[in-house]
Amino acid sequence: MLTQNLSDFWDNLYSEGKDYWNFKKSTPALLKFFEHPSCPKSGSVLVPGAGFGYDAEAWAKKGHPVLAVDFSPTAVDELDSLIRKHSNLKSLDLDLFELSPHDEKKGGEQFDIIYEYGTFSAIHPGRRDEYFEVWHKMLKDDGIVIALFYPLMSGDTFKGPPHSTTEGELMARLSGVFDLVEKIPAQESFPNRENKEEFWILKKST
Ligand SMILES: C[S@@+](CC[C@H](N)C(=O)[O-])C[C@H]1O[C@@H](n2cnc3c(N)ncnc32)[C@H](O)[C@@H]1O
């Protein structure tokens, strides 16, 4: 049986047109966030689970060097067509759990910013701590995670993807790994996501 830990699971959803999360445009809430005073003006950006890359492209258009990672061949094809348009956007076909700052073929560096949307809720909840460890190793010590957590609501976590989360779960899992710097309400959410998502700015715990 295919599980969401395998690229085929995601690739089948893309090829069967069941990619209901894919709005085929940059996330309006991210574009709005770009206007927020807490949004960094510069710095390299890692986008794990970038999908078709519209948000990665938005960061690139804002002037950041961006690495977009996905392991679905369909998504990577889309990313590869985007990188031809932007010299500061790169794609990487890789299982994000294999990212390494020490291996050129697996990221090869630490980043100023990690941008998260839709990947945390896509991976199996049993791998959430592992996912935070990926952020931790790929982030510079003075870097920040910008996570638009969705669905941020109580409910059946295991029915997804998307798997929901709660503030309590996040605070418990992040404790000692990342500190919460700021929570920023999402504006201009996609339909049906209003009041179920929020930007969290995180930095490494010291
Ligand atoms: C629900 S989609 C969200 C895509 C994008 N972030 C967005 O908001 O449109 C989840 C994406 O994460 C990718 N993904 C899931 N698990 C992954 C893994 N372990 N390594 C790399 N990509 C992964 C899937 O292929 C898919 O493109």
Cα-to-centroid distance, 171 and ligand 1 (Å): 23
137, two tokens: 């190793």
Specify if 62 maps to a domain.
Answer: yes
Q: Which pLDDT does position 2 carry in this prediction? A: 62
Specify if 138 maps to a domain.
Answer: yes
Residues with pLDDT less than 50, the chain: none
Closest CA to 138 of 115, 165, 121, 170: 115
User: Ligand 1 pocket check: which of 4, 10, 76, 128 to mutate, most ligand atoms within 8 Å of Cβ?
Assistant: 10
Closest CA to 60 of 30, 38, 37: 30
Q: Whose CA is nearest to atom 3 of ligand 1?
A: 118
Cα-to-centroid distance, 62 and ligand 1 (Å): 22
Q: In DSSP terms, which residues pair with 117 in a beta bridge?
A: 148
Specify if 1 maps to a domain.
Answer: no
Q: Are 185 and 202 in contact (CB under 8 A)?
A: no
Cα-to-centroid distance, 118 and ligand 1 (Å): 7
* CA 187/CA 206 separation, integer angstroms: 31
Q: Is 115 in the pocket of ligand 1 (CB under 6 A)?
A: no
Specify if 141 maps to a domain.
Answer: yes
Q: Is 91 in the pocket of ligand 1 (CB under 6 A)?
A: no
Q: Which pLDDT does position 157 carry in this prediction? A: 73
pLDDT tens, 12-34? 999 999 999 999 999 999 999 99
Specify if 2 maps to a domain.
Answer: no
| CATH of residue 99 | 3.40.50.150
Specify if 104 maps to a domain.
Answer: yes
Which atom of ligand 1 has the smallest separation from the CA of 123?
Answer: 16
Query: What phi and psi, each to the nearest 5 degrees, are found at residue 180?
Result: -80, 120
Specify if 122 maps to a domain.
Answer: yes
pLDDT tens, 117-144? 999 999 999 999 999 999 999 999 999 9
* CA 111/CA 113 separation, integer angstroms: 5
Q: Are 94 and 49 in contact (CB under 8 A)?
A: no
Count of structural domains within the chain: 1
| Burial 8-46, CB ≥16 within 10 A → b, else e | eebbebbeeeebebbeeebbebbbbbeeeeebbeebbbb
108, two tokens: 């090869």
Cα-to-centroid distance, 47 and ligand 1 (Å): 10
Q: Look up the pTM and report it.
A: 0.97
**Residue 86, SS3?**
coil
Q: Are 38 and 113 in contact (CB under 8 A)?
A: no
107: containing domain: 7-13+28-204
**Residue 107, SS3?**
strand
Beta pairing, strands 66-70 & 45-48? parallel
Specify if 75 maps to a domain.
Answer: yes
104, two tokens: 């050129």
